[in-house]
Structure 1
């Protein structure tokens, strides 16, 4: 009964959009077919929906060989050539990956949102223009986000990413661009790429070592003059690794705070939310079931305000817009077709 009600509801929705029944979309109920119809220009631009901006975000390229395959963030990074650039986490070379941030959130969500904004700005500039179709996939989006890295990986002898994963400048290969564990198990991030910053780092870390510091025989103390010597990077890394183990994270944080050594502690999510005892410029709140991503305030003159929408908050508003009356909506709710969070008191 619930499925039958949802099918009827779907029919009412498309009827409201006033689609021509001769199109396969109406028969197949395929959102992808509808996008193909709109993007091909075969829809009737005199219809009221022709001003809408549609977006199509797929996993793999819908024209490629993997178009019908299921996948997730890790798969998209792998197919994009980005995962193959990540530093290894095991002796066998298993690549690390940045959670589901790069393909899902950046290559997918952020790229698609940027396209939608561009489409809306285009329509605002020319009110007579037809609606836009924004299309991307998370593989292509990941490649675009990683353009800088991918380009440098193709340049022979490039110092940034031309070496095998884990041996280049910005992927953990350089001893001055990595994270190191402290005596209490905490971690410090080190990113002193520029020579003057590296010199500051060398001075501070050497000055605050205990008198009985005894690095391994195969470890070499880093000096500003040897920063660019790749043959010494591994021995420098071993020395820095042992040096950080002589103090706690808090002690190293106090030593490097306010300096240009480019060294800061690796905070946990809860620690980052309590920076200086108050909320930082942006950090998501956990509210209810889903949590709340507050808008990041980018303007100095005005404050950004926003609230995450609760699932079901506008269900009945939408049903009213497509022409359902109170009895029909009540029947759908009674059958459970609207879920358990639909709010019939919501007002747009």
Structure 2
């Protein structure tokens, strides 16, 4: 048995944040059915590109794919029959689009009152920014995260789209769906779930925001103890031109670091800002005396919070990453060895798994229509009129 076995999720969203959220649920057994537009029916095109890209994209794994043309009446009726069987629906359109497609919450709740209808968007379904277009960089700007990242006197440092898209968006969406499923066990009713990526960003920085809300302290980029303003929580270049990260926040770890580097005189001055320029200068000079790997091995033996700063091509060779099965090697009949990022949560009784990676546009259309009661002749006719593909 898998944790979410028996839960059916219809995924109408076509972009990575929502697809990541449904991947998390599919990894633990949810029957995720991605509803795609037939070729040429959407201006988005095929966001995955080639067959190889689709197979290597983990956001597609453990899912089934059906092509339905919701602009066609018979395609929409097939969609409604699918909705009758669903527990959850996920959409990521701009506000108002689903109503034009006949796929809005008010319409679908009449078909299935137990449906949990989830909308993931940048700013939510209401408010002055509801119709504003955007991407991760905009959401972390308005949500306050981007303004805390970087160095004094420099432009904000732009992180890749992890914070809003995947943490504030997809991860919060999956969490919200599980909450609504739990609530439905008690009430017997579905509900509407409105997830905004900007809201998610603010939720993620809630602890950091408390320093401003409670004390009026604004976190400035590169000036605070957790964003580069201190020598005990920073990165240092090593002899081989690579970087090592140090995170010795607690006093005993700071003491261990100072002793390991041969700077015992700095032990009493962890929080002495007037000494930071001197400490930084000496630490930077010392770290250039050994390679990144030498420092990692040495400091690891001295109870120092340390980590090598990897580039992506190094991550999947790390022994801890491999031991925790955070890189999976799967065999594909056409593509050969396929590598995916593994499954984060390790459940002892109902673990997640990767059960399928072979996905083509509309790969499961016939199968799913058959499950809904369509005959082979009816499916053929739907294909001919462009209602399905």
Question: Aligned to 2:377, which of 313, 324, 327?
Answer: 327
**CA offsets 1:10-44 (integer angstroms, 9 cap, x no match):** 332355358xxxxx99982154xx12566xxxx54
TM-score, normalised by the number of residues in structure 1:
0.75
Assess if the C-alpha contact under 8 Å between 1:188 and 1:249 holds in 2. Answer: yes
Residue 297 of structure 1: CA displacement? 4.4
- Answer yes or no: is 1:245 the counterpart of 2:288: yes
Partner of 1:154: 213
Aligned length: 305
Q: How does 1:283-294 map to 2 (within 5 A)?
A: 283-285=326-328, 292-294=340-342
Tell me the CA shift for residue 87 of structure 1. 2.7
Conservation of the 8 A alpha-carbon contact between 1:226 and 1:232: yes
- Report the counterpart of residue 137 of structure 1 in structure 2: 196
Instruction: Note the alpha carbon deviations across 1:276-331, whole angstroms, 9 max, x for none.
Output: 38823142447679964543342335543233552434322333345543234335
Which of 156, 165, 168 does residue 107 from structure 1 map onto?
168
Choose from 333, 352, 361 the match for 1:304.
352
Whole-Å Cα distance in 1 between the matches of residues 219 and 321 of structure 2? 42
**1:265 aligns to 2:308 (yes or no):** yes
User: Secondary structure in 2 aligned to 1:279?
Assistant: helix
1:174 and 2:240 correspond: no
Of 250, 253, 257, which residue of structure 2 is paired with 1:197? 253
Aligned counterparts, 1:92-103, within 5 A: 92-103=153-164
Q: 1:71 to 1:27 in 2, by over 3 A?
A: closer
- Over 3 Å counting, the alpha-carbon distance change for 1:30 and 1:147 in structure 2 is farther
Q: CA 1:268 to 1:27, structure 2 compared with 1: closer, same or farther past 3 Å?
A: closer
State whether structure 2 residue 76 is matched by structure 1 residue 11: yes
Structure 1 residue 170: Cα displacement: 0.4
Matched residue SS, 2:132: coil
Tell me the CA shift for residue 2 of structure 1. 6.7
Within the alignment, does 1:28 sit opposite 2:28 as a pair?
A: no
Q: Does the 8 Å CA contact 1:273/1:280 hold for their aligned counterparts?
A: no
Is the 1:190–1:263 contact (alpha carbons within 8 Å) kept by the matching residues of 2? yes
Mapping of residues 51-130 of structure 1, within 5 Å? 51-88=114-151, 92-126=153-187, 129-130=188-189
- RMSD (Å), alpha carbons: 3.3
Mapped to 2, the partners of 1:72 and 1:254 lie a distance apart of: 40
TM-score normalized by the length of structure 2? 0.68
Matches for 1:214-225 after TM superposition, within 5 Å: 223-225=266-268
Which residues of structure 2 form unaligned runs of 5+? 1-37, 42-67, 85-95
> What is the alpha-carbon distance in structure 1 between the residues aligned to residue 384 and residue 287 of structure 2?
63
- Report if the CA contact (8 A) 1:77-1:83 is conserved: yes
Cα distance in 2, alignment partners of residues 294 and 320 from structure 1: 32
Higher strand share: 2
Distance 1:124 1:306, change over 3 A: farther
Bigger radius of gyration, 1 or 2?
1
Secondary structure of 2:235's counterpart equals strand
- CA separation of 1:26 and 1:165: change in aligned 2, threshold 3 A: closer
